[in-house]
Amino acid sequence: MKRELPSIGGVRLSNPFILGPMAGVTDLPFRLICHEFGAGLVSMEMVSANAVFHGSRKIDAFVAISENEHPVSMQLFGPDPEVMAYAAGKLSGVPCDILDINMGCPVPKIVNNNEGSALMKDIDRAAAIVRAVKKAAGKPVTVKIRAGFSSDSINAPELAAALEEAGADAIAVHGRTRDQYYAGKADWSVIRRVKERVRIPVIGNGDADSAGRALELMEETGCDFVMIARAARGNPWIFRECLSLYEDGELPPRPSREETAELMLRHARMQLSVRGDRLGILEMRKHIAWYTQGYENSARVRAEINEALSYGELAGIIDRWARGGAV
C-alpha cells in the first residue's frame, strides 16, 4: 500500500496522515503530542485575518510554534482578499511550513460574516483570496473546503479547479456540506471527483475515525493525504495506528489505561507550562473528557476533574482512575 507521496509546494511529508485544524484543540501541546505519535503534518488553530489586521494581541498564543513539531501548517480565515494578504504578510515571520486558508468552517458566526464555508458560494472571491495570499505568503498555500455549501450546491470539484488555477498548492476536502456540519455520512465520492479534476495534491477528510477507515479513504478516492481531526481528540495514538497499518499492514495494541493516564498527565504538564496553572487546568478538562471516553468510571472522573484547581489535584484523580479505583 505504501507509495511515494507528493510534496505540498515543496514541503515533504514523512507520511500521509495529517492532524486537521480544530479551534480550541490543536494548540501547541496537542500538536507536539500528535507529531510524536506520527502525524506527518500538524495544523494550528485558525487565526482571524481581521484580528491580525486590527493588531489584536490575542493571536500570540495561536501562532506559537515549536522547532519540534515541523512540518506545521498555520490556518487563516477571512472574507476579504486584501485583508487576508495583509495578514499573510504580517505573519510571514511565523516559522510555519504551510499557510492554509479556511473555506470550510460551518459555524454560524463565521458563515454569517462571509468567512469559512460561505466562500464556497462565491468562487470568484475564493480564487481572489488565494491569489492574494499566495502572492503575500512566501510559502506554500493550501485551502480547506467542503463538498459544497448545501446538498443542492455540491461544487467542490469546480471550486478546487478554480483554486488550483489561482495558485493553491493543495486542496483539503471535507466530504460533508456546510449544512451537514459534522452529522451524517461524509460523501467520499466528492473527494474522488476533486482528485480527478485537479493536478495538485488532494487531502481527504471526513469519517477517517480509525486507521482502517483512513486507508479506505485513500483507496476509494485516490487522495494523496488523509486529514484526521475529531477522531484524534483524546486519541493521538490514531496516528501511530495509521502509520503502522500503512507501512506494515498491522495494527499496534491500543494504549493501556496506565499509558492513557501517563499521557494525560504529561499533556497537563505541557498545557500548564504554556497557559499557566489556571487556564491550563481549564483547557485540560475537555481533553481529559476525550481521553477517558468509553472507559469505566469516565463520567465520575470528568466530574472530579471539573472541580480540580491544581495540577496536584488533577494528578491524584487521574492516578486513582488509572489504578481502577473510585475517583
40-96 pLDDT, tens digit per residue, is: 999 999 999 999 998 877 777 778 899 999 999 999 999 999 999 999 999 999 999
Annotated active-site residue in 34, 96, 105, 223: 105
Pick the CATH number of 257-322 from 1.10.1200.80, 3.40.50.2300, 1.10.287.3510, 3.40.50.150: 1.10.1200.80
* CB atoms near residue 281 (< 10 Å): 21
275-318 pLDDT, tens digit per residue, is: 999 999 999 999 999 999 988 878 888 899 999 999 999 999 99
What residue has cell string 505573519? 91
Kindly state the percentage of the chain with pLDDT values over 90. 87
246-270 pLDDT, tens digit per residue, is: 999 999 999 999 999 999 999 999 9
Is 34 assigned a catalytic role?
A: no
Q: Which three cell numbers stand for residue 148?
A: 459544497
**Separation CA 52–CA 71 (nearest Å):** 23
Is residue 173 classed as helix, strand or coil in its secondary structure?
strand
Q: How confident is the model at residue 123 (pLDDT cuts 50, 70, 90)?
A: very high
Q: How confident is the model at residue 2 (pLDDT cuts 50, 70, 90)?
A: low
Residues whose CB is less than 8 angstroms from the CB of residue 78 and which lie 6 or more positions away in sequence, other chains included: 48, 49, 50, 84, 87, 115, 129
Domain ranges of the chain: 17-248, 257-322
* For residue 324, pLDDT beyond 80: no
Query: Does domain 17-248 correspond to CATH entry 3.20.20.70?
Result: yes
